[in-house]
Each structure stands twice: as C-alpha cells, then as structure tokens.
Structure 1
C-alpha cells in the first residue's frame, strides 16, 4: 500500500543529516527534474524580492527565502520528520512504536513540489515551494512534474490511497487511486466541505493505515481500518471515500 500525503508549507528547522544528496533519495528517475528545480529555486533566492513574488510570500517571510538559498548545504531530516502542521500533528510520527514507524516509512510517502514524491526515510532539507507555483524560467510546476511523475506513480502495483490536496493532485494524476475527502455534518444532516480540520482527519486516517498490523490491500480494508480507528468513513464510489465529521 502507498498512502500519498500532501506536504505542508511549514517545515521543521535544522536536522542531523548530511546535506542534500539526490542520489540517496527514492525514485532516482525523478532526479533530473529534482536537480533542475532545486538549482532554479536556490538561484532565485539570490534575488529576495523576486523570490517573495514568485513564491507568494510577504516580507515577513524572508526566512523562507533564506532556506531556499541554503538548499544544497543545509542539514537534512527524514521526510516524515521534516513536514509539520495539522496533518502531521495528527499523524504524530514521534509517538509510533519502532515497528509502527517501520511500517509508516514503508507505507507513507509525501507529495512534494520540489522532489515530486519522497518516502518516509528520504533525507531532505527545509525549503519553501508550493504546488501551484510558477517558477521564473521554469513555468508552472504542473507542467514540469506531470510528464515524469505520472509514469512513476502509475507503475505502483500496490493499493494507492491519495490524500493529496488539489494543487498537489494536479502535479500527477493516479488512475485507480482511492481518493478521500472530508465533510462535516450538522444536526440536520446537511454536509459541507471541511477546510482546516480536513487535514487533521486525513492525518488520523494516515496514522491508522500506518499502524494496521496487516497491510490494507483493498478499499474494504481501508474502510475497516478507518472504522477501527473511530472514523466514520463512507464509500462514495468504487474508489472514493468520504470521512464524515459531526459538527
């Protein structure tokens, strides 16, 4: 099983790993694109105003540009420890047992605007680049990643549970993936899309899938794991699930 998580804009600082080594990352066929984007991003960081504009940042976020400037020299950390925020708080990797962490590293991956996809143990630096960005001299990341990332994901034989958000789902389509959305339901039964808390419930589902003793192999298996974790999940189609949250 492959559970594909969205990344987060926020990332932990520092790390104890050696500087970025693309050859050590999973899916080496993505390395030419990774190198092209990393070089463009670090070069862009030499021009702070241009970086802020291209990345959609304010002047108060200039530290994010500094991270990009140090991309090739900064210390690294495993991907599942690098990303932070609501989803990753719910996933709570530090609290997993050694056996569960091994399963999480094998089953979970993170979609990345810079690296395409990274597995749990891939050592990466802190950086700032969003899926909807158009880099000067490069163009929209969707156009860059689709031709190279889609074949990699399409070659996955395992069940794919796609938890990505829209901008990252646009970087590569995955035919046959199980998609998940989150809706809140009020006392009258009316449902609406959950925004902020959407991430927390997806993080809870990802944690349950990582902890499951037997690796889920079907949509029914995913439903069973979610139910055991206390989530109300409904089937909306052959490969579409909905997490329902009581308002």
Structure 2
C-alpha cells in the first residue's frame, strides 16, 4: 500500500542526522531539481527584510521570525520527515510509540508533500524550516514546479499498488493521481468535520501502520478507532470511503 499525506505547519527541532545531501531524499536523480527551489528559498530568506519574512513564515512575532531566518537549509542537521512534523495529525499518529515493523512501513510507504521540499518519504531527512502554506517567494509557482518535474517518478513509485490519498486539498496541487485510489471522508453527527479531520487522518494512519494492508479487502477489514464505515462513493478513479464518528 502507498499512502499520500500532508505535512504540518508546526515542526520539531529534532536532529538525528547530518546536513542535506542527494542521499537525504527519494528520487536522488531529481536532487538538482529540488535544489532549484531550496537555493531560491535560502537566498530569499538571507536577503529579504523582516516584513517579507513574517509573511513568508506566517509569523507576527518578530523574534520568532528572526530566529527562523537564521536557519540554513544546507548546514542544519536533519531528522526523518515523519518525525519532523508535529501538527495534529502527527500527534495522533504518535510515530515514536509504534513498534518497529509499523514504523518501517510508514517510513517506506508514506509520501509527504512538503510545500518546500516537494514529495518526501517518511524516512527522508530534512532540517527544521518554515514556509506558510500557500506562500511563495521570487514569484515561483512551487506546486506546479514539483508537479511538472516529479509526477513521472511518483507514478513509478506508486506502481500498481493500492493507493490511499489522505492529503488535505491544498497538497493535491503537487500531484494528480491518474489511477484508481481510495480517499476517506469523516462525518460527525452527519456533518463534515474540518479541523478534527487532521486527528482522524493521524489515527487512521496509525491503524494502517499496524495492519499494513496490501489489498482493498484487507483495508476494509481494519477496525479504525472511533469510526464506522457509512458508505462508499465511486468516481472516475476515486473511491471515497465515508466514515461516521462513533466517539
């Protein structure tokens, strides 16, 4: 099973490995393409005034802005992407408390779509950084850049495996699936959940890590915590599994 996932605005300051290199990422043959974006970002934060950096980072706090402006992507130490992000979904995933086989599954089969680094495996190494969702620099269309240059590689990575797309809508801009896949929608009292959907994505990912399905039938048998399957809607490529909260 391959799983597409979102990053988070909040990040840990964990360091477990050395600075970035072409071995830090999946698709090493596309490392130079990533560098086009990373070099542009690094140059921008080194040369831009405080007000522009506050907008880029999404901070009002001047001290926090200055602190993040001192981070150098290329000399900072790194940790695995799945341990770097600390938002709601990652809190509910609680990666560090999973057993070793579950952690290994997530490290190798979850692709996180960073708005700076592009598509990352859970085990890819990245430094701490800050870039507010939807912001850009130097007039770059980052989502289109990664979609244009990485789509073929992601297609090959997905192969003919079962695919679950758990991304938030914004990150669908980085890659469009052109083969059958599953999505999940979460309801509470018959209504769509918004912010708490992040928590459901985290718990779902945790359950999947334990069960590690390879077919849709195996996926359907997973007793997702706090959720009950209500219906399945079929579209061209997408099967939308709609779950009702039973908490």
TM category (shorter chain) comes to 0.7 to 0.9
Counterpart residue number, 2:2 = 2
Q: Runs of 5+ in structure 1 lacking a partner?
A: 186-190
Q: Is the CA contact (8 Å cut-off) linking 1:4 and 1:109 kept in structure 2?
A: yes
SS class of match (2:174): coil
Counterpart residue number, 1:128 = 130
SS class of match (1:75): coil
Residue 219, structure 1, aligned to residue 222, structure 2: no
CA offsets 1:3-24 (integer angstroms, 9 cap, x no match): 1111001000141210111333
SS class of match (2:227): coil
SS class of match (1:135): coil
SS class of match (2:18): coil
Q: Runs of 5+ in structure 2 lacking a partner?
A: none
CA offsets 1:114-160 (integer angstroms, 9 cap, x no match): 222111221110111245223214x2222211112222222221211
Q: Is the CA contact (8 Å cut-off) linking 1:44 and 1:50 kept in structure 2?
A: no
SS class of match (2:3): strand
Offset, 1:229: 3.9
SS class of match (1:118): strand
Counterpart residue number, 1:28 = 28
Q: Distance in 2 between matches of 1:64 and 1:165?
A: 28
Offset, 1:193: 2.0
Q: Is the CA contact (8 Å cut-off) linking 1:132 and 1:142 kept in structure 2?
A: no
Greater mean alpha carbon deviation, residues 1-10 or residues 108-117: 108-117
Relative to the length of structure 2, the TM-score reads 0.86
Counterpart residue number, 1:161 = 164
| Paired residue total | 237
Residue 119, structure 1, aligned to residue 159, structure 2: no
Offset, 1:32: 2.4
When residues 220 and 131 of structure 1 are mapped into structure 2, their CA distance, relative to the original with a 3 A threshold, is farther
What aligned pairs does 1:1-247 form with structure 2 within 5 A after superposition? 1-46=1-46, 47=48, 48-60=50-62, 61-62=64-65, 65-66=68-69, 69-137=71-139, 139-155=140-156, 156-157=158-159, 158-175=161-178, 176-185=180-189, 191-212=190-211, 215-225=212-222, 227=223, 229-233=225-229, 234-237=231-234, 239-246=239-246
Relative to the length of structure 1, the TM-score reads 0.86
Q: Is the CA contact (8 Å cut-off) linking 1:9 and 1:130 kept in structure 2?
A: yes
When residues 220 and 229 of structure 1 are mapped into structure 2, their CA distance, relative to the original with a 3 A threshold, is farther
SS class of match (1:134): coil
Q: Is the CA contact (8 Å cut-off) linking 2:9 and 2:133 kept in structure 1?
A: no
Q: Which runs of 4+ in 1 moved over 4 A?
A: none
Offset, 1:91: 0.6
